[in-house]
Structure 1
Amino acid sequence: MNMEQLEYVVEAAKTGSLSKAAQRYYVSLSAVSQAISILEAELGLVIFTRSRGKGATPTPEGKVIISKAQEILSKVEELRAEATAYSSIVSGELRIATIPGPMHLLIHDVSTFKKEFPKVKIQLFEKGPHEILQGLDQNQLDIGLLVLSEDVIGQDSQLLFQRMFEGKLVVGVSKYSPLALEKKISPEQLAAQTLILYEDDQIRAHIQRLEANYGQFDILFTSNNVQAIQNAVLSGIGVTVGLDYSFSKHVSTGSQDIVAIELDLPDEKPIYYGWAMRRGKQSSPIAKKFIQRLDLG
Structure 2
Amino acid sequence: MNFEQLLYIVEVAKHNSLSIAAQNLHVTQSGISQSITSLEKELGIKVLHRSRGHGAVPTDEGKIILKQAYEVLRKVEEIKNKANSFNSMEIGELKLSTIPGLTTVLVKALAVFRNDYPHVNVEINEKSVSSVIEDVRQHRTDIGLIAYSTDWNINMEGIAFESLFEGKQKVYVSKHSPLAFTGSISPHEILDETLVTYYGEFMQYFVQDFFNKYKPLKVLFTSNNLDGIFQAIIESLAITFAPDFIMKNHPPVINGDIIPIDLVNHRGVNISFGLILSEDKHLSIFPTKYIHYLKSEIMKI
TM-score range, shorter chain: 0.5 to 0.7
Residues 1:214 and 2:214 are matched in the alignment:
yes
- What is the CA–CA distance in structure 1 between the aligned matches of 2:208 and 2:134, rounded to whole Å? 24
- What is the CA–CA distance in structure 1 between the aligned matches of 2:286 and 2:245, rounded to whole Å? 27
Alpha-carbon RMSD:
2.6
Alpha-carbon distance, 1:90 to partner: 1.5
TM-score, normalised relative to structure 1 = 0.67
Q: Is the 8 A contact 1:88 1:285 kept in 2?
A: no
- What is the CA–CA distance in structure 2 between the aligned matches of 1:293 and 1:167, rounded to whole Å? 21
Partner of 1:50: none
Q: Is the 8 A contact 2:187 2:266 kept in 1?
A: no
Aligned sequence identity (%): 30
Alpha-carbon distance, 1:295 to partner: 2.7
Number of matched pairs: 217
- What is the CA–CA distance in structure 2 between the aligned matches of 1:209 and 1:241, rounded to whole Å? 12
Partner of 1:247: 247
Aligned ranges 1:185-224 → 2 under 5 Å? 185-224=185-224
Partner of 1:267: 267
Greater gyration radius: 1
**Structure 1 unpaired stretches of 5+:** 1-80
- What is the CA–CA distance in structure 1 between the aligned matches of 2:200 and 2:162, rounded to whole Å? 21
- What is the CA–CA distance in structure 2 between the aligned matches of 1:86 and 1:248, rounded to whole Å? 41
Partner of 2:144: 144
Runs of 4+ in 1 over 4 A off after TM superposition: 81-89, 151-155, 251-255
Q: Is the 8 A contact 1:89 1:286 kept in 2?
A: no
Partner of 1:54: none
- What is the CA–CA distance in structure 2 between the aligned matches of 1:173 and 1:142, rounded to whole Å? 36
Alpha-carbon distance, 1:153 to partner: 9.7
- What is the CA–CA distance in structure 2 between the aligned matches of 1:242 and 1:250, rounded to whole Å? 12
Q: Is the 8 A contact 1:137 1:278 kept in 2?
A: yes
Deviations 1:38-71 (A, max 9, x none): xxxxxxxxxxxxxxxxxxxxxxxxxxxxxxxxxx
Larger relative contact order (CA 8 Å, sep ≥ 6): 2
- What is the CA–CA distance in structure 2 between the aligned matches of 1:265 and 1:109, rounded to whole Å? 37
Alpha-carbon distance, 1:155 to partner: 6.7
Partner of 2:56: none
Q: Is the 8 A contact 2:146 2:275 kept in 1?
A: yes
Partner of 1:184: 184
Deviations 1:118-150 (A, max 9, x none): 100000111000110111111111000000113
Q: 1:223 to 1:88 in 2, by over 3 A?
A: farther
TM-score, normalised relative to structure 2 = 0.66
- What is the CA–CA distance in structure 2 between the aligned matches of 1:100 and 1:178, rounded to whole Å? 29
Alpha-carbon distance, 1:82 to partner: 9.5
Partner of 1:21: none
Q: 1:254 to 1:274 in 2, by over 3 A?
A: closer
Alpha-carbon distance, 1:262 to partner: 1.6
**Structure 2 unpaired stretches of 5+:** 1-80
